[in-house]
Chains A and B, each alone.
Chain A
Amino acid sequence: QSVLTQTPSVSGAPGQRVTISCTGSSSNIGAGYDVHWYQQLPGTAPKLLIYGNNNRPSGVPDRFSGSKSGTSASLAITGLQAEDEADYYCQSYDSSLSGLHVFGSGTKVTVL
């Protein structure tokens, strides 16, 4: 049972916009901890996609964006492309776990 809850799957046609939600609580996201997002392409290791709620590492396309509000965070993908088909995970920290790492349950993005 993941501490952070994500919708199991979302889908969209190429060019569309999809959003992935990450719902936490007052002991993690709501406590002010930053949220990071990872993209895991099939058969590969996760890759940092968004850090510090809304920052993109060098090389990540600007069609990926993150936001955070209250006890939730979101990842948006605009202009969906076939290569965006992957699993996406949010990650934060939890004060009930001594501020240690917690991951979301993951969301599978399917490009129709």
Chain B
Amino acid sequence: QVQLQESGPGLVKPSQTLSLTCTVSGDSISSGRYFWSWIRQHPGKGLEWIGYIYYSGTAYSNPSLKSRFTISVDTSKNQFSLKVSSVTAADTAVYYCARDAGGSTGLDYWGQGTLVTVSS
């Protein structure tokens, strides 16, 4: 059974860098069968796709977002990560990781999400 679990600090100070990790179990990132996505949801709002990464390290980010978002992968740990630099209160959101099965299949497995609050 595929499971994804986000981890990281629940509280980050403005201007700092937010770092989140998604640990995958029940599947191998290095299989190359899927992309691995990050999505966020501002409080009471809709879903916003941040970007995804392939096992090779090739990453694509939402061009609508400024270039503060960096996605990386560690296949040895079966994890992928998200870094958001220079955070502001506008980055307060629930962050989800998900397995991305591609254009015809969608985001088929999701983590439970982690709430990140940006506040001093």
Contacts and interface: CB of A to CB of B under 8 A. Distances in A.
B26 interface: no
Given A51-B106, A97-B64, A45 B49 contact: no
Interface string A92-109: 010001111111111000
A76 to B, nearest CB: 18
B62 A100 contact: yes
B37 A101 contact: yes
A98 B60 contact: yes
A97 B62 contact: yes
Contacts, number: 67
B106 A91 contact: yes
B38 to A, nearest CB: 11
A70 interface: no
A64 interface: no
B46 A106 contact: yes
B8 to A, nearest CB: 16
A48 B47 contact: no
Interface stretch (B9-17, B73-81, B82-90, B108-116): B108-116
A63 interface: no
A48 B108 contact: yes
In this complex, the interface size class of chain A, counting residues with CB under 8 Å from chain B, is 20 to 34
B43 interface: no
A46 interface: yes
Given A46-B96, A97-B62, A100-B63, A34 B47 contact: no
A45 B113 contact: yes
Interface of B: 37, 39, 46-49, 52, 60, 62-64, 96, 101, 103-113
Interface of A: 2, 33-34, 36, 38, 44-48, 51-52, 57, 89, 91, 93, 97-106
29 contacts: A2-B46, A34-B103, A34-B106, A36-B106, A38-B47, A45-B113, A46-B39, A46-B96, A46-B107, A46-B110, A48-B107, A48-B109, A51-B101, A51-B104, A51-B105, A52-B104, A89-B47, A93-B103, A97-B63, A98-B60, A99-B103, A100-B60, A100-B62, A101-B37, A101-B49, A101-B62, A102-B49, A103-B46, A106-B47
